[in-house]
């Protein structure tokens, strides 16, 4: 009795102490229980950025391997080893389980599963994904799997120009069919494409992403490509491929496997720089070009009016049959969202003969980061949680309230070992709070994934930026993982443990 009442007093004292601590530290204005019980909290990675083992067990190169081999990553690095997920997946699933993750978002490497892009399955590739998937199932972690995160088999790029050629549709369909057939019994959510809008702008307009195509005067150091036309052709072919793959899944697999299928878009929230009508209209144009490019075909069956007007004959058009196929071809929209940007009107662009995607908008976007902070690799990111709430409510109103999973959101810090990442905690806490606000205002948000589970190769910054909940020592052959304070915070939040600044010792390193 005495012992138990002493324990009660001590625990009461502790609770008071924790309350004080949490109010001084990372006071949440909400808990996990404020979210619906079927809302999932997870974290993510992507194949090229996470797996490494690029020339192992039969995997053949993707366009990202070639791009980085040519020294075109921002820090001239590559994903040859990166976080070594190919060998460490089992330990990583253990970390996820320790964290209490309810879901994991990852992507499949097409050229690991089908090394030549089509034809024979690589048995080692099949085994790797089956092992990973089974491990996740064993830990009760839901699977959100992307078929494509920018890493086209190089053989298909060489053979017929990859996404520039409609031949890609059949090859991708065959690859998707293998994935559904082999893994679909255990996958709850399929994302056909991760951020095709920004991947295409990077890969075919600026030349800063694989396959690094662009043309003068746009982009950087281009020798091949056409920034004026190619971005539109590529996204068109991606949309047609997506629609075919969704049809395949719905007709052949969905009834038995019971999963959902959707498409992801990269997004920024945009604010007009001034109150002028010109800037306000320019802001809408930018939203239409960046997000409407993907979402209007999916929801309404055609490109935004303003794109058709400004891009003219360079914008491919949908036949009636294609419109019917593309329209409504999703169960959910995956959203990647990090920050916001200002927009100013830029009518002068209209006089240019040569135009690329950015000039077709007749608008200039200006990073939300201010001039000092935006130079060089990102070491500091301005947080705009309200932007995410704005975005979710905009999607609800403009696109008939689609089911949304936030498939990427996170905070980049420089390549320093910063385990006490309080800025990241503040960022995650504020963004999750903004999602709750949007939910309460009727947005149909169903899940949230922190980018990224562990530090890895960043497409925009190589190893000069890190987003992981776990720090990875890239100088250590074993790629040891160490939980950052944000991992403890996120874990406590998911597990509904109060006093979220404590429990620092509960997560192990691997
Ligand atoms: C472009 O080329 C110049 C000159 O060769 C080089 O210094 C620069 O690093 C290149 N830029 C990129 C982004 O590859
Ligand atoms: C890009 O394509 C357009 C339309 O076919 C053509 O007029 C233009 O010359 C091309 N530009 C380059 C750099 O090849
Ligand atoms: C239009 O843009 C060109 C090229 O960027 C620039 O040289 C010119 O001064 C601009 N004209 C006006 C009226 O802003
Ligand atoms: C701009 O960035 C600097 C350096 O990070 C910061 O001190 C300053 O407050 C920022 N200004 C604005 C207006 O955000």
Mean pLDDT over the full length of the chain: 91
DSSP 8-state symbol, 141: P
Instruction: Kindly identify the ligand whose nearest atom is closest to the C-alpha of 383.
Output: 4
Answer whether residue 369 shows pLDDT above 70.
no
Rounded Cα gap, residues 211 and 151, in angstroms: 9
With a 6 A CB cut-off, is 370 part of the ligand 4 pocket?
Answer: yes
Residue 208 half-sphere exposure toward CB, CA atoms < 13 A: 15
Query: Which residue's CA is the closest to the ligand 1 atom numbered 5?
Result: 221
9 CB within 6 A, ligand 4: no
Tens-digit pLDDT profile for residues 234-284: 999 999 999 999 999 999 999 999 999 999 999 999 999 889 999 999 999
Q: Is the pLDDT of residue 44 over 80?
A: yes
Q: Is 70 in the pocket of ligand 1 (CB under 6 A)?
A: no
Q: Which of 367, 369, 372, 374 to mutate to test the pocket of ligand 4 (most atoms within 8 A of CB)?
A: 372
pLDDT in tens, 183-225: 999 999 999 999 999 999 999 999 999 999 999 988 878 889 9
Per-residue pLDDT of 473-492, as tens digits, reads 999 999 999 999 999 999 99
What are the chain's domains?
A: 38-509 (3.20.20.80)
Quote the pLDDT of residue 23.
41
What ligand has the least distance to the C-alpha of 223? 2
pLDDT band at 19 (very low <50, low <70, confident <90, very high): very low
Q: What is the mean pLDDT of residues 72-81?
A: 95
Does ligand 4 come within 6 angstroms of the Cβ of 373? yes
Average pLDDT over residues 416-438: 94
Give me the pLDDT at residue 27, please: 57
Measured from the Cβ of residue 121, the count of other Cβ atoms closer than 10 Å reads: 14
227 lines ligand 2 (CB under 6 A): no
Q: Give the separation between CA 258 and CA 185, rounded to whole angstroms.
A: 8
Whole-angstrom CA distances from 117 to 61, 162, 252, 452 are 10, 10, 22, 27
DSSP for 117-135 reads SSSS--HHHHHHHHHHHHH
Q: How far is CA 418 from the centre of its chain?
A: 23
Shortest CA distance to 100 belongs to which of 495, 451, 508? 495
Mean pLDDT, to the nearest integer, of 365-386?
A: 56
Decide if 187 contacts 133 (C-beta within 8 A): yes
CA of 4 to the centre of ligand 4 (A): 53
Mutate to test the pocket of ligand 2, among 224, 228, 311 (most ligand atoms within 8 A of CB): 228
Pairing of strands 142-148, 103-107: parallel
Contacts of 3 (CB under 8 A, 6+ apart): none
Q: State how far the Cα of 301 lies from the Cα of 477, in Å rounded to an integer.
A: 50
352 CA distance to ligand 2 middle (Å): 14
27 in ligand 1 pocket by Cβ < 6 Å? no
Contact 89, 104 (CB under 8 A): no
Calpha distance 368→272 (Å, rounded): 11
The two three-digit tokens of residue 330, written as one number: 């999703």
> For ligand 1, atom 14, which residue shows the shortest CA distance?
72
Q: Looking at ligand 2, which residue's alpha carbon is closest to its atom 4?
A: 229
Distances (CA, A) of 278 to 273, 290, 363, 364, 469: 10, 18, 10, 12, 41
Q: Which atom of ligand 1 is nearest to the CA of 72?
A: 14
- Kindly report the protein residue whose alpha carbon is nearest to atom 1 of ligand 2: 226
Distance separating alpha carbons of residues 311 and 356, to the nearest angstrom: 9
215 lines ligand 2 (CB under 6 A): yes
Q: Taking the mean position of all CA atoms in its chain, how far away is CA 193?
A: 10
> In this structure, what token pair is assigned to residue 166?
């409609």
> How many angstroms separate the CA atoms of 191 and 208, rounded?
24
pLDDT digits (tens, 9 = 90+) for 110-135: 999 999 999 999 999 999 999 999 99
Ligand 2 neighbourhood includes 45 CB (under 6 angstroms): no
Residue 2 confidence (pLDDT) above 70: no
DSSP code of 288? I
CB 215 within 8 Å of CB 222: yes
Start-to-end CA distance of the chain, whole Å, equals 41
């Amino acid at each position: 009795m005495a012992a138990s009442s002493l324990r009660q007093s001590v625990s009461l004292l502790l609770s008071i102490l924790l309350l004080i601590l949490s109010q001084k530290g990372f006071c949440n204005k909400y808990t996990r229980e404020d979210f619906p019980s079927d809302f999932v909290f997870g974290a993510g990675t992507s194949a090229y950025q996470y797996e490494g083992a690029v020339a192992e067990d039969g995997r053949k190169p993707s366009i990202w391997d070639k791009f980085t081999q040519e020294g075109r990553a921002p820090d001239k690095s590559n994903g040859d080893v990166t976080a070594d997920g190919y060998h460490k997946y089992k330990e990583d699933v253990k970390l996820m389980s320790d964290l209490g993750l309810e879901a994991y978002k990852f992507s499949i490497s097409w050229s690991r599963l089908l090394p030549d892009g089509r034809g024979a399955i690589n048995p080692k590739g099949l085994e790797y994904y089956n092992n990973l998937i089974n491990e996740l199932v064993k830990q009760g972690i839901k699977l959100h799997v992307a078929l494509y995160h920018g890493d086209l088999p190089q053989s298909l790029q060489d053979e017929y120009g990859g996404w520039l050629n409609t031949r890609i549709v059949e090859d991708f369909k065959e690859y998707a069919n293998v994935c559904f057939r082999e893994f679909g019994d255990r996958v709850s959510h399929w994302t056909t494409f991760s951020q095709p809008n920004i991947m295409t702008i990077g890969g075919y307009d600026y030349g800063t992403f694989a396959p690094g195509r662009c043309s003068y005067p746009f982009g950087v150091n281009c020798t091949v490509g056409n920034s004026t036309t190619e971005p539109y052709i590529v996204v068109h072919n991606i949309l047609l491929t997506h629609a075919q793959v969704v049809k395949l899944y719905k007709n052949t697999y969905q009834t038995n496997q019971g999963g959902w299928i959707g498409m992801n878009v990269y997004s920024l929230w945009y604010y007009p720089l001034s109150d002028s009508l010109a800037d306000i209209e320019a802001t809408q144009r930018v939203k239409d070009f960046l997000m409407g490019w993907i979402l209007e075909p999916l929801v309404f069956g055609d490109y935004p009016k303003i794109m058709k007007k400004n891009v003219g004959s360079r914008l491919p058009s949908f036949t009636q049959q294609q419109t019917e196929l593309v329209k409504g071809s999703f169960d959910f929209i995956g959203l990647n969202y990090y920050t916001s940007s200002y927009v100013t009107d830029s009518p002068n662009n209209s006089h240019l003969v040569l135009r690329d995607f950015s000039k077709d908008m007749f608008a200039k976007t200006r990073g939300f980061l201010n001039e000092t902070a935006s130079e060089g690799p990102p070491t500091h990111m301005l947080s705009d949680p309200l932007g995410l709430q704005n975005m979710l409510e905009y999607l609800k109103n403009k696109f008939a309230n689609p089911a949304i999973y936030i498939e990427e959101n996170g905070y980049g810090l420089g390549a320093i070992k910063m385990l006490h990442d309080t800025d990241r905690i503040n960022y995650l806490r504020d963004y999750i709070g903004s999602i709750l606000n949007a939910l309460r205002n009727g947005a149909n948000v169903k899940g949230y994934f922190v980018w990224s589970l562990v530090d890895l190769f960043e497409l925009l910054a190589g190893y000069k930026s890190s987003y992981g909940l776990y720090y990875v020592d890239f100088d250590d052959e074993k790629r040891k993982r160490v939980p950052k304070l944000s991992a403890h915070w996120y874990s406590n939040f998911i597990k509904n443990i109060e006093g979220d600044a404590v429990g620092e010792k509960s997560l192990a390193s691997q």
